[in-house]
Amino acid sequence: NAGVTQTPKFQVLKTGQSMTLQCAQDMNHEYMSWYRQDPGMGLRLIHYSVGAGITDQGEVPNGYNVSRSTTEDFPLRLLSAAPSQTSVYFCASSYSLRGSSTDTQYFGPGTRLTVL
């Protein structure tokens, strides 16, 4: 099991550029999510998905798009990068039983993004 994988590990963008952060998991988890981690602010939820074809917004969705065409993949797209999106991005997945408490989340190693 590779668990949760993320690519790239590091990325530098110029303001206005677009890019996609990749996330994949091989644990057949229904629930996947994207967080950003900023100093002193913990992790903030950007978008999440409870299954293929279903996505929803989290706490800080503006400037980001997601899609979930397969159970395994959950890419995060930055439409027009801004310096405020400089952060470390984590993808996570968990096995969730519909209607029950969320189970343990498994995190990827993160992508460190700098927007100039």
Partner 1 sequence: GDSVTQMEGPVTLSEEACLTINCTYTATGYPSLFWYVQYPGEGLQLLLKATKADDKGSNKGFEATYRKETTSFHLEKGSVQVSDSAVYFCALSGATGGFKTIFGAGTRLFVKA
Binding to partner 1, residues 66-105 (CB under 8 A): 90, 92, 96, 99-102, 104-105
Q: Which of 82, 81, 74, 29 is nearest to 56 (CA)?
A: 74
CB of 85 to partner 1, least distance (A): 19
Give buried/exposed letters for 13-22 (b at 16+ CB in 10 A, else e). Answer: beeeeeeebe
CB of 40 to partner 1, least distance (A): 6
Q: How many chain residues bind partner 1 (CB under 8 A)?
A: 26
The torsion angle over the Cα atoms of residues 102, 106, 33 and 95, rounded to 10 degrees, is -40
Residues engaged in binding partner 1 (CB under 8 A): 4, 31, 33, 35, 40-43, 45, 48, 50, 58, 90, 92, 96, 99-102, 104-110
